[in-house]
Amino acid sequence: MVGAAIWRTLEKKGYSNLIGESSKDLDLRNQQQVLDFFEKEKPTIVIDAAARVGGILANNDFPYQFLMENMQIQNNLIDTSLKTHVEKFIFLGSSCIYPKFAPQPLKEEYLLTDTLEPTNEWYAIAKITGVKSCQAIRNQFQKEYVSLMPTNLYGYFDNFDLKTSHVLPAMLRKFHEAKINNKPVKLWGSGTPMREFLFVDDMAEAVVFALENSLPEYLYNVGTGKDITIKELAETIQKVVGHQGEIVWDATKPDGTPRKLMDVSKMKNLGWHYKTELATGIEKTYQWFLENIDHIKEVKM
């Protein structure tokens, strides 16, 4: 999802010398494959949008894969970039790197100040090692290796598999299927946690901004700077989809982190700001979902 959005945005802005491979053609977990690819293509700038991702259920069921495969992917890319003299590296992480009970909104300096949310700590630990690796290279070798930490992303080419997807695409699919079958929608938790969401094309704009500008620090949050409750999100999606039934909350299921609002003042002060409001982004995503419903991405673990 993210890589495709970045690629589209770069093409729209006139970039033509783009190099990329799908996971089917290049296994980023394989160190030798990554080295061979770099030596053949000789990239001068690298944008790392690759990761194994998923929601609470996937993180809980596959902790080893979420920890190890993400470290393999990013370590191979970061280390090979350093060894092949890549001067600029943009590493994409996640807001889950911050402590579970960190003050809100989340500031970059809160990293590693307390314990993580247990339901996604495996993914978070992997991403933290990527952030610190880029920081170490920046400090030791004076290369512009920068980390962007997006809030919850959604949009075109999202994963709508109900077992492995994040909350927004999972909800969208649930409401769509409930609408078709004239049934209520059952959702995890209490609906009280608050989350921030960013349309993936806006995230791509932030990446291009980082590409075209020299960012003075090693870590930047990327988001809207405003959040809503999961209950409000469900009601917004229900309205967009046109579902008329009941919403049932299963309080026996975990809520996850109570709140994850990003402080995005550092990026805003440099000149970047999001464009797409949540309801508009959900409408665009649902339209894409309907147009691609026969072959939407489903991840098999």
Is 139 annotated as a binding-site member? Answer: no
Is 250 annotated as a binding-site member? Answer: no
**Backbone phi, psi, residue 277, to 5°:** -75, 155
Residues with Cβ within 8 Å of 141's Cβ and at least 6 positions away in sequence, in order, are 82
CA-closest candidate to residue 97, choices 213, 234, 295, 257: 257
Q: Look at residue 258 and give its three-state secondary structure.
A: coil
Is 188 annotated as a binding-site member? Answer: yes
Whether 123 is a known active-site residue: answer yes
Is 179 annotated as a binding-site member? Answer: no
Torsion-angle region of residue 5: left (phi > 0), alpha (psi -120 to 50) or beta?
alpha
Whether the ω angle into residue 105 lies within 30 degrees of 0, i.e. cis, is: yes
Is 256 annotated as a binding-site member? Answer: no
**Residue in 15, 98, 110, 123 annotated catalytic:** 123
Letter for the amino acid at 281? G
E runs forming strands in the chain: 45-48, 88-92, 144-150, 152-154, 185-188, 194-195, 197-199, 219-222, 228-229, 247-250, 259-260
Angle, vertex CA 158, rays to CA 53 and CA 64, nearest 5:
15
Is 265 annotated as a binding-site member? Answer: no
- Answer for the pair 136, 273: CB distance below 8 angstroms, yes or no: no
Is 26 annotated as a binding-site member? Answer: no
Is 143 annotated as a binding-site member? Answer: no
Using CA atoms of 72, 78, 83, 88 in order, give the dihedral in degrees to the nearest 10: 160
Is 181 annotated as a binding-site member? Answer: no
Could you please report the per-residue DSSP string of 144-172?
EEEEEEE-EEE-TT-B--TTTS-HHHHHH
Is 183 annotated as a binding-site member? Answer: no
Is 153 annotated as a binding-site member? Answer: yes
Is 173 annotated as a binding-site member? Answer: no
Quick one: the chain helix, strand, coil %, rounded to 5?
A: 45, 15, 40
C-alpha 104: how far from chain center? 20
**Backbone phi, psi, residue 127, to 5°:** -65, -35
Give catalytic residue positions. Answer: 123
Extract the annotated binding site.
Answer: 92-95, 127, 150-153, 166, 174, 188, 195, 255
Extract the annotated binding site for NADP(+).
Answer: 92-95, 127, 150-153, 166
Extract the annotated binding site for substrate.
Answer: 174, 188, 195, 255
